[in-house]
Amino acid sequence: MRYIKRALVIVGIQSAFAVGLSVIDAFTLPEAIASPVVNLHPLARFLLLTDGYFICFLLGLVPFGLVYLLTRVRGLRFIFKGGVVRSLVAFNIILSILIYLTLPVNSVMPYLLSMMGILLMILLILLSLAGYVVMVILVRWASERLGARLKVVLGSVIMTLGLVMVATGYGVRVAYELGPLWGGDDQRPNVIIISVDTLRKDHLSCYGYEGCNTPNIDEFSEKSVVFENCIAPSPHTVPSMASLLTGVYPTVHGCRHFPLIPINEDIKVLSQILKPYGYQTEFYTANPALNPTRGFKRGFDYYQSWSFTGDLSYYLPQRVFVIVNKMLLFKRVETRVKYSDTTEWLRGKVTPCLKKLSNYSPFFLWFHFLDPHAVYLPPQHFIPAKEDEQRRLGSIKYKVEEGGYQKSEVLDIVKLYDGEIQYVDNTLGDLFRRIEELGLFNDTIIVLTADHGEEFWEHDAFGHGHCLYPEVIRIPLMIYLPPPMGSVCGRIYDYVSLVDIAPTILDLLGLPGGEGMGGRSMLKFIESCGSSPDGGGSVSDYTVFSEFIQGRFVVEGLDGEKKGVYKDGYHLIYTIASGEKELYELKSDPGEFLDISEEDEETTGRLYSELIEWYGVNIKIVEELAPHIGIEMDEEEKEMMRGLGYIY
């Protein structure tokens, strides 16, 4: 009984301090940053803050125990003179101060392996110990001047309050993460978007590729409308996915990854449009670049992103997570990101998420997978090769220090890339099975697509984010319609874009909101596919645009910016800074290797005029919106971007 009482006292003290810091955050932060649950009553967000800080203070018991052992050394026992409880209170006061005072120096902390970082850590430890000794003395002095009864009553009330608040916060967390949702106020179909990072269309077997096997995506394609020519609006993840969510091109929404510019505040995203119609909206992303700072949390009831310490960023308030991530993990971000299995993390979210939502209608759910984004480290048995070859390929590491992947290794690199695609396909198989088990195929629109592709030196470069060639911006797109909507399947050969997805979903749901978007509904394509005897459809010559905008474009001008247009079986690429124009005839040259701009000046001029007219319209739209506001990245995010290969 005595030990139970001591344990309750310790937990009560930790709870009381958790409540105290939550109160401070509630008054000092514009939004309680406790968890991905954003559209909650302020009290619920406060309870989640309390729960997160409680975890922080429980972690604090580890260094407290080390300090306690240190004081067993002869000559240091005076630190604990007067009782462990008072010393624990003093330790928590120091911990609270550190949480708030170490943030101003976080620009140094990512480089803890440097001499400055090591000296900083030593200084913090010495200052903490000195402060702890002083605080023990002050707490003991104050305690001796309080009456015994007052101390018991006051301590009991504070600790009981802390315990109740922590328990309630934990209940709120479980309810919103795992608790099933019931009801809903609309009979419209559910919507699930599945986006796969860096997935080339021509590396899927359902599009004719023989280098790897993707049976689950193939099976899904057989009951879906498959778009043979879908174009990414940008070769970067952030602007491309922002276009998917907004239905407008990057120039209009303004979203960039470097410098950090969020989706324009005047532009509504799909989740915001669906919310008033009773949709429960949730987003799970394995790519941390799609984060709240860029506007990807907007309109979502529940948002969760993979982070470098697993789910730690979810369970801890952001203020604490920054410190724990930088002070306790003595590795640079780009080292950690290589070996983290984001696909497995997202696989673990699928079942509880779908179970939670299965009894609620309607819902809008978005899963974004990071693989097959570089670095390519698939589980060995997924590499499309014989066993001995799998072992050899599995030993290849990401040689970033030597300049990254080399052109001479291209055959091996492609096999590793294909291995990651097969790994993601296996995970998608689990996702599709859960959807089927829960009966969601009967009333859910499902979109499967990608943000961009990947170049393997087809145009003398590697990766993405640098060009508008087909290997980078031609991506898969499949749309599944449930039986009440006709279960249409077949293939569409017209050129379409990710900016068309949001207006198409709204059109399928019979909802307004897509009229002002730059994209257009693809419903007429889908209907033509359903009416075609062979399941194929092509009803018009559709004009599609794409944009490559370097980060410096926003700050210094148009240097490096490229614009592209697909029309009449041609693809024109225009580089603004140099004025260079490239023209490719797609039927005879689908890989876009032969520039015929000089041979066909008439087509070049016509497409160029249409491109400039389109761009001018977009600029006028931008002038009527709120100014694009850049946000400075902190050092942690810069390191993350380096680890993902976005900045250097």
CATH for 190-542?
3.40.720.10
Mean pLDDT of 623-646: 63
| 513 contacts 506 by C-beta, under 8 angstroms | yes
Q: Work out the pLDDT band at 497, boundaries 50, 70, 90.
A: very high
State the virtual CA torsion across 577, 580, 582, 583 in degrees, nearest 10.
110
- Which comes out higher in pLDDT, residue 42 or 76? 42
Residue pLDDT, tens place only, 513-560? 877 788 899 998 888 875 555 555 554 567 899 998 754 333 333 346
Mean pLDDT of 591-596: 92
Mean pLDDT, all residues of the chain: 79
pLDDT at 156: 77
| 292 contacts 284 by C-beta, under 8 angstroms | no
Rounded distance between C-alpha atoms, residue 42 and residue 29, angstroms: 12
- Which comes out higher in pLDDT, residue 241 or 338? 241
Q: Work out the pLDDT band at 400, boundaries 50, 70, 90.
A: very low
Mean pLDDT of 428-435: 95
Per-residue 3-state assignment (H helix, E strand, C coil) for 552-619: CHHHHCCCCCEEEEEECCEEEEEECCCCCEEEEECCCCCCCCCCCCCCCHHHHHHHHHHHHHHHHHHH
pLDDT at 135: 77
State the virtual CA torsion across 300, 549, 558, 456 in degrees, nearest 10.
170
Question: For residue 473, is pLDDT > 50?
Answer: yes
Residue pLDDT, tens place only, 88-129? 888 888 888 877 765 544 444 444 445 665 666 677 777 777
Bridge partners of residue 256, in order along the sequence = 261
- Which comes out higher in pLDDT, residue 171 or 209? 209
pLDDT at 102: 58
Q: Which helix (H) or strand (E) holds 284?
A: strand 280-285
Question: For residue 452, is pLDDT > 60?
Answer: yes
pLDDT at 244: 96
pLDDT at 589: 92
Q: Work out the pLDDT band at 397, boundaries 50, 70, 90.
A: low
Instruction: Output the six-digit token pair for 320.
Output: 């604490």
Min mean pLDDT across 225-234, 255-264, 410-419, 486-495 is at 255-264
Residue pLDDT, tens place only, 568-593? 889 999 988 788 899 999 989 999 99
pLDDT at 474: 94
Of the candidates 488, 489, 481, the residue with the CA atom closest to the CA atom of residue 443:
481
Domain-by-domain residue ranges, the chain?
2-177, 190-542
Rounded distance between C-alpha atoms, residue 301 and residue 288, angstroms: 18
pLDDT at 383: 86
Rounded distance between C-alpha atoms, residue 479 and residue 59, angstroms: 46
Percent above pLDDT 70 for the chain: 76
